[in-house]
Structure 1
Amino acid sequence: MLRMEAKFTIGQVTRHRVYDLRGVVFDVDLSFSEEEGWRAITMDKRLDKEQPFYYLLAECGDSSYIAYVPEQNLVADVSGEPVKHPDIGELFDVDDGGSYHYRGRIFQ
């Protein structure tokens, strides 16, 4: 049995390796779990389903949304800039140092 571990943690800020997308991790799938949506996510044959996928409260420019991103496309964001997603307060408390602490609430 293949054992995987997630590189990023709940509350960690990440950014996309290529695109202007950054966000706070709020959930992790240790491997791709949305079989029906696989083709919609990518046509890239190099993308492996057997890797962690992350749900992010994401921002890109002036837009915010929920993103589902494979680990291979993410890096840690070390900018220290806050993520300006309108739902941050639903899931996280933010301390004075800018760290996100998961509260475990579910979207309504």
Structure 2
Amino acid sequence: MTQIHTARFAIGHMVRHRDDAFRGVVMDVDPAYQGPASDTGAVSPDQPFYRIFALGEDGGFVAYAAESVLEDGRSALLTDDVRRWFTVDEQGHHAPLHAGIH
């Protein structure tokens, strides 16, 4: 029997990696891991995975992370970061500054 998972985060939600590796905004959601089988490490591939526009010391980058290592990140971004990197719609969803929310 196939188990169906509901994604905890949606496109435009701010998230933070539990190890503080990065913080950013969800750009895409996969229902399960979409890559080489050897790349999941200790993380179960049978959960939602997210493409995240993340902020680093040198600017933005795209990260791919399992739901189990992510937390709500609404309080993680500083106001200056938000204005520099993101647009925000009426519902509070964020998108990279030069890309719209789908």
- Residues of 1 paired with 2:89 and 2:83: CA distance? 13
Q: How does 1:1-80 map to 2 (within 5 A)?
A: 1-34=2-35, 36=36, 38-39=37-38, 41-42=39-40, 44-45=41-42, 47-79=43-75
For residue 96 of structure 1, report the CA deviation from its aligned partner: 7.4
Q: Could you tell me the TM-score, scaled by structure 2's length?
A: 0.74
Residue ranges of structure 1 left out of the alignment (5+ in a row): none
Residue ranges of structure 2 left out of the alignment (5+ in a row): none
Task: Supply the AA of the counterpart residue of 2:72.
Answer: A
For residue 33 of structure 1, report the CA deviation from its aligned partner: 1.3
- Residues of 2 paired with 1:83 and 1:17: CA distance? 24
Percent same amino acid at aligned positions?
Answer: 31
- Residues of 2 paired with 1:61 and 1:31: CA distance? 29
Question: Are the counterparts in 2 of residues 4 and 51 from structure 1 also a CA contact under 8 Å?
Answer: yes
For residue 63 of structure 1, report the CA deviation from its aligned partner: 3.3
Task: Supply the AA of the counterpart residue of 2:5.
Answer: M
